[in-house]
């Protein structure tokens, strides 16, 4: 994770909009998106002043936790309640799972359906609830599909996708589906709002209003993958009170 990615994760955790955060620290619009390697000292001072719970060491280096515990103590005199009998987890039969290859899109080089020599295959177990096909589990990087609603796909989520083969002249099943578009310049999870076969492009939409729609020429697309479900995500942990 870069400094910019960690800052975006904190902003998402706080449930505020990026432009509201930028306004609070006296920064211009798109400041967060334009962060490259680090943050200027004067901006760090404003961030610390307005967001004292943010662990600056974590922000700059990734060490420690996102939320600072400085000045916070646990009450040792508070007796812990006994565990409720209905508060538990249940092991699921392994026969209900299948092994699927895992790819990290942030480090993926080249098409998703191709691997380089020396590539070490990683796999994850996912539920057996879909028909046969070419499945992958990939990690979503970035907040473009997160808008705070129940439809959101958060940054860092592992998602199950299935290869979709598009024949010449066919239209993508864009209603009710999201797609990982595997293009020459990279891969991204998007909602396709238009598939124009006459002009030869698809129009990609993000749930996050900070990201604009854009077109990808069909000739630049290597393949499509239909989003099936989120199979893994570790959300931020609430601070201890």
User: Could you tell me the pLDDT band of residue 126, with boundaries at 50, 70 and 90?
Assistant: low
Asked if residue 90 lies in contact with residue 126, where contact means CB atoms within 8 angstroms, the answer is no
Q: Is residue 74 part of a domain?
A: no
Q: Please give the share of the chain, as a percent, with pLDDT higher than 90.
A: 18
Q: Is residue 131 part of a domain?
A: yes
Q: Is residue 85 part of a domain?
A: no
Q: Report residue 143 as tokens.
A: 């907040």
Q: Is residue 72 part of a domain?
A: no
Please choose, from the candidates 129, 161, 177, 131, the residue with its C-alpha nearest in 3D space to the C-alpha of residue 225: 161
Stretch 56-63: mean pLDDT:
81
Q: Look at 24 and 87; give whichever has higher pLDDT.
A: 24
Of 21-35, 79-93, 207-221, which has the strongest mean pLDDT? 207-221
User: Could you tell me the pLDDT band of residue 192, with boundaries at 50, 70 and 90?
Assistant: very high
Q: Report residue 32 as tokens.
A: 């967060």
Backbone angles phi, psi at 206, to 5 degrees: -110, 145
Stretch 201-227: mean pLDDT:
92
Q: Is residue 77 part of a domain?
A: no
Q: Is the pLDDT of residue 77 over 60?
A: no
Q: Is residue 71 part of a domain?
A: no
Number of domains in the chain: 2
Distance CA 65, CA 58 (A): 6
Domain that includes residue 143, residue range: 94-107+120-232
Q: What is the DSSP letter of 54?
A: B
Average pLDDT for the chain: 77
User: Could you tell me the pLDDT band of residue 164, with boundaries at 50, 70 and 90?
Assistant: very high
Stretch 132-147: mean pLDDT:
83
Looking at the chain, list the stretches that DSSP marks H as alpha helix, in order from N- to C-terminal side.
3-14, 18-24, 41-50, 56-61
Q: Is the pLDDT of residue 204 over 90?
A: yes
Task: Say which range, 12-16, 129-133, 202-206, 225-229, has the weakest mean pLDDT.
Answer: 129-133
Distance CA 68, CA 57 (A): 9
Q: Look at 96 and 36; give whichever has higher pLDDT.
A: 36
Q: Is the pLDDT of residue 202 over 50?
A: yes
Rounded to the nearest 10 degrees, how much is the dihedral formed by the CA atoms of 61, 62, 67, 69? -70
Distance CA 167, CA 65 (A): 48
Distance CA 55, CA 237 (A): 14
């Amino acid at each position: 994770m870069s400094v910019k990615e960690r800052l975006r994760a904190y902003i998402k955790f706080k449930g505020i909009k990026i432009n509201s955060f930028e306004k609070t620290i006296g920064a211009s619009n798109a400041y967060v998106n334009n962060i490259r390697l680090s943050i200027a000292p004067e901006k760090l001072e404003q961030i610390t002043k307005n967001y004292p719970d943010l662990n600056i060491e974590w922000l700059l280096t990734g060490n420690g936790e996102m939320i600072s515990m400085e000045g916070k103590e646990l009450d040792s005199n508070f007796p812990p309640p006994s565990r409720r009998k209905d508060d538990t987890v249940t092991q699921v039969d392994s026969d209900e799972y299948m092994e699927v290859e895992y790819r990290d899109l942030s480090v993926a080089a080249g098409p998703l359906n191709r691997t380089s020599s020396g590539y070490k295959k990683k796999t994850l177990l996912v539920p057996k609830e879909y028909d046969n096909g070419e499945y992958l589990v990939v990690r979503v990087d970035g907040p473009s599909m997160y808008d705070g609603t129940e439809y959101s796909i958060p940054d860092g989520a592992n998602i199950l996708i299935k290869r979709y083969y598009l024949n010449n002249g066919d239209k993508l099943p864009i209603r009710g589906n999201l797609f990982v578009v595997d293009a020459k310049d990279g891969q991204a999870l998007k909602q396709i709002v238009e598939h124009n076969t006459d002009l030869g492009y698809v129009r990609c939409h993000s749930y996050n209003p900070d990201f604009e729609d854009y077109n990808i020429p069909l000739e630049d697309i290597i393949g499509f993958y239909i989003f099936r479900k989120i199979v893994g995500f570790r959300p931020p942990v609430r601070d201890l009170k």
